[in-house]
Amino acid sequence: MLRLLANRWTFFASATVLVGVGVGTGALGERSSSQGQPRVDVVDGQQVLRAPSLDGWNDRQSSPSNNPGRAEIFGAAFHYDAFVYDETASRPKVAGVVRRGTALRLGNKVVGPGCKDGTWYEAVPFGYVCTSLGFHLSESPAVKTYGVPRARVTNHLPYQYARVTTQRAPRYYRIPTVQEEKQARRAMEKKGPTPEVVSSLMEGDYFLALADKEARKADGAEFYRTVRGRYVRPSDVELRNPDPVRGEVLGQSGWQLPIAFVWGEDRQLFNLDGDQTRAVGNAEKHARFVVREELQRDGLTYVAGDAGAVRRGDVRVARKVKAPSGVPTNAKWVHVALSEQTLVAYEGTQPVYATVISSGKEGYEPPTGLFQVQQKYISTTMNATDPIDGFYEVEEVPWTLYYHGGYALHGAYWHTDFGKVRSHGCTNIAPVDARWIYYWSDPEVPPAWHAVRFQPDTTWVYFTN
């Protein structure tokens, strides 16, 4: 169940000055944005509260290597998604996924039912694989990739993504001949039959994960090969390289709750000096500051911090809440406040990360209550049909944590409207934040694995209105 569906970002050209805008005082002098203080520039005499850059953000959370290390024997996956099972049985449950072209360490042979024409092996660190169900044996972790690129786990986006911009654009099983492509183009315009080389005519909203470009030998025409092994014309797609958006690590960084996040668009920044309310500049979309107080002036409510004040409706405020009944002491859990469109990650009673999200729009609200992470994927393809928007398919949605049936927390590379409801039920998170949550949360996905499913030690997810 995919619940989702460009963005605007304002850049200022100016000399950079780090300042603080007083609330009831004047300027507070230079501030460091890395110690819980937002950056404020002065542009043509106006103050601009900046949204943060990444600043090496990807290095702040370590990533396991795709190399499983040394072993006497490896299982090399040749299915696109090869399964690791929880037991050797006729109908075992899937405990994990290994992507084609990746090898995982194996242990001893195991005797058991369910592996017809093959042999069961222990998988490392847990589970079992069958040599006739998606794996073959290898003496090395360096195995044939079958054209499937490795996920870039050290990047906030594991693949290069693109949106299909041509309605009914052909997606091919292989690079078509010149004549086959002409036939496909006629079929796209509903002027003839669809040739067999066409995997699908993409009618609806499609997002693709791309591997690389290949050229047709006959005329040099270029095609993108997708991660899933199909081919599309570059003229039919638009590369997606969204502006990076991120939340804040709490605690030692100097950031603490409550934090106000500017959402939707750039907003006015005010100085509340005595009884005076004076506009002094703008706060960029996704800028943030620690909330010092909320106060009313002339019938309007303002949220104020060291960097100035913003009208209450122009920010989403992430606040600390108590752990719900049922969450074990010191467990990891995530709180999503739907009314505020905020997410806060906790370790026991201590909040450790805060950001803004985009949850389900009207009619697609996610369920409230307490859940547990059930499945965890580096990336997974999602599709569904919306009664208004029609069919949509999104390849390799990054950093996905399913917590209740088809509902998930996941990275969203197709928009940067975080703080605004807009999905079809899932919780859209900026890829940088989604990656942080993925590697922070339990269960851990072992090196070389692409996913784990239904493991006992897991992270709790708490949704409130």
pLDDT greater at residue 125 or residue 252: 125
Q: What is the pLDDT of residues 444-453, one digit of tens each?
A: 999 899 999 9
Q: Tell me, which fold does domain 74-138 have in CATH?
A: SH3 type barrels. (2.30.30)
Which tokens is 53 given?
């850059």
CB under 8 Å to 267, separation ≥6 — which residues?
Answer: 282, 283, 285, 310, 311, 314, 315
For the stretch 122-152, pLDDT in tens is 999 999 999 999 999 999 888 888 889 999 9
Which CA distances in Å does 181 have to 170, 178, 193, 221?
A: 9, 5, 12, 11
Please give the share of the chain, as a percent, with pLDDT higher than 90. 78
Confidence of residue 405 (pLDDT cuts 50, 70, 90): very high
Task: Identify whether the C-beta of residue 147 lies closer than 8 Å to the C-beta of residue 153.
Answer: no
Collapsing DSSP states into helix, strand and coil, what is residue 133? coil
Report pLDDT for 6: 32
Q: What is the mean pLDDT of the chain?
A: 89
pLDDT for 36: 64
pLDDT digits 0-9 by tens, 7-59: 322 222 333 333 333 333 333 223 334 456 788 999 998 999 999 988 766 65
Inform me whether the pLDDT recorded for 61 exceeds 90: no
Distance CA 449, CA 439 (A): 13
pLDDT tens digits, one per residue of 205-241:
999 999 999 999 999 999 999 999 999 999 999 999 8
What are 355-367's pLDDT values in tens digits? Answer: 999 999 888 899 9
**pLDDT value at 104 more than 80:** yes
Task: Report d(CA 438, CA 457) in Å as an integer.
Answer: 14
Share of the chain above pLDDT 70, in %: 89
Q: What letter represents residue 406's amino acid?
A: G
pLDDT of residue 145: 86
What is the Cβ-side half-sphere exposure of residue 145, based on CA atoms within 13 angstroms? 12
Q: For residue 283, what pLDDT band results from cuts at 50, 70 and 90? A: very high
Q: Is residue 340 a contact partner of residue 316, using CB atoms and an 8 Å limit? A: yes
What type of residue sits at position 326?
A: G
Q: Is the pLDDT of residue 261 over 80?
A: yes
Predicted pLDDT of residue 68:
53
Where in the sequence of the chain do the CATH 2.30.30 domains occur?
Answer: 74-138
Mean pLDDT, rounded, for 395-413: 97
Task: Provide CATH 2.40.440.10 ranges for the chain.
Answer: 332-464
Residue with tokens 């409510």: 301
What's the average model confidence in pLDDT over 295-324?
96
Using CA atoms, how far apart are residues 206 and 162, in angstroms rounded to an integer?
9
Q: Which of 435, 416, 263 is CA-nearest to residue 341?
A: 263
Ramachandran angles phi, psi of 339, nearest 5°: -65, -30
**What is 332-464's CATH superfamily?**
L,D-transpeptidase catalytic domain-like (2.40.440.10)
Instruction: Count how many Cα atoms sit within 13 Å of the Cα of residue 384 in the half-sphere of its side chain.
Output: 17
Q: Which residues fall within 8 angstroms of residue 12, CB to CB, at 6 or more apart?
A: 41, 43, 48
pLDDT at 23: 38
Nearest to residue 243, comparing CAs of 416, 97, 403, 89? Answer: 416
pLDDT of residue 59: 57
Among 3-12, 187-196, 299-308, 382-391, where is mean pLDDT lowest?
Answer: 3-12
What pLDDT is recorded for position 71? 61
Q: Which two tokens stand for residue 197?
A: 């080389």
Bridge partners of 297, per DSSP, are 300
